[in-house]
Chain A
């Protein structure tokens, strides 16, 4: 599993940092998303998926292993 982000779309709502703090944070400089772990362990799959679903600007994409390239 791999996390990809499109930071240019981020508006800093903070849904990811709130709901999946193991994987996401916000920069002190601009408030936008920072990925802490772009290859999360399987135990955090549901949190990665939740962050993907809750992001109001479709910034986050969670790719399963076969898409990993």
Chain B
């Protein structure tokens, strides 16, 4: 392994994209020339940016780097934190072991490969219902509204026991929380609204339990569970946000990518045996967690030839890692016939996505059915007029106008 030579001049995170499907310009050069580089954060602090697959994986499984982001810098905007804000109880994404382990263990069995495969008939039914509705409406439609957003929202609502009829509210609050240039006050308001909504839902589930996850967590026979209403609220809102926002963006952006690579769409339509490969390759190629994964050094750490100081923020760019030519041949090519299983679009280490098997089931049900139902599917606007989510924490498209021969 070559010794990293960090730049003496900290630079901000690259964010300008040349191509809607490629990571922002500059990552390739960084990965080649300075894979561990000094990063200048908007709050004025200096930290580190990692862009090589091997380094990104290493930092994400190293327990000396903390996921508690209360004192971290954000690479794209200051985290809006009010004075006196408590950490969100139950929100395991910002916790380290052993605290993280306790919550993760309570929900892991709900998201196993086998359990998610058991949901396949229901997910396929939901996909078919939305394709039927598109057919009835006729072209053109916005694929985000008609397909990509409703499908994962409905699935996670059923899994958690959240009323789907109330989706407009939680989808709007999520969009506000994830928008980069949102004024602080409106972020606070959305956060409070989402909290209050989930808190009242937890109260309802205590009184009127059902078979879904939230109720089952409340009424668990496992004595180690015993979650407070605060913990249930934090955990519930994390699962709700993570369960609908991410897959929605993969479905829409993945469809956009396939429409811009018609030979790949053709292969997907005619080779159903390749669907699992296609899902992994789209995850790798698009890596929608576009600004990387943030960690904080708990102590001074010698890492791959550099000294990272206690308290410094490290940004592990999983998007850059998934384009590392040392790991993936021709990394900038979308090729659904390749085996992309080693991608880290779901992260790595203890926080690797809890819902990844659910996301896979939704994508493997969604993409082929869409392209088989509408073989003539194409963009209804020029590709450069599709509005990109450069302004959101999770990448994707705001709208995807599509048409087909009716």
B385 located at the interface, meaning its Cβ lies under 8 Å from any Cβ of chain A in the complex: no
Are A54 and B341 neighbours in the complex by a CB distance under 8 Å? yes
Contact with B along A50-64 (1 / 0, CB 8 A): 100110111000000
Interface of A is mostly: loop
B81 located at the interface, meaning its Cβ lies under 8 Å from any Cβ of chain A in the complex: no
Which residues of A in the span 7-30 have a Cβ within 8 Å of any Cβ on B?
11-15, 17-19, 21, 25-30
Interface of B is mostly: helix
B178 located at the interface, meaning its Cβ lies under 8 Å from any Cβ of chain A in the complex: no
Cβ distance B346 to chain A, nearest Cβ, rounded Å: 8
Size band of the interface chain A makes with B? 20 to 34
| Stretch of B106-114, B137-145, B297-305 on the interface side | B106-114
Bound-state CA distance A37–B61 (Å) is 27
Are B109 and A11 neighbours in the complex by a CB distance under 8 Å? no
| Stretch of B26-34, B39-47, B71-79, B351-359 on the interface side | B351-359
Bound-state CA distance A10–B108 (Å) is 10
Contact with B along A28-66 (1 / 0, CB 8 A): 111110000000000000000010011011100000000
Further 17 A-B residue pairs, CB within 8 A, beyond A17-B112, A32-B108: A11-B108, A12-B104, A12-B108, A13-B353, A18-B357, A18-B360, A19-B341, A30-B105, A31-B110, A31-B111, A50-B341, A53-B342, A56-B60, A56-B61, A56-B348, A56-B352, A58-B61
- The contact sample of 15 A-B pairs, CB cut-off 8 A, is A12-B104, A13-B346, A13-B353, A14-B111, A14-B357, A18-B113, A28-B109, A31-B105, A50-B341, A54-B341, A56-B60, A56-B348, A57-B61, A57-B350, A58-B61
- Measuring CB to CB, which residues of chain B are less than 8 angstroms from any residue of chain A? 60-61, 101, 104-105, 108-114, 341-342, 346-350, 352-354, 356-357, 360
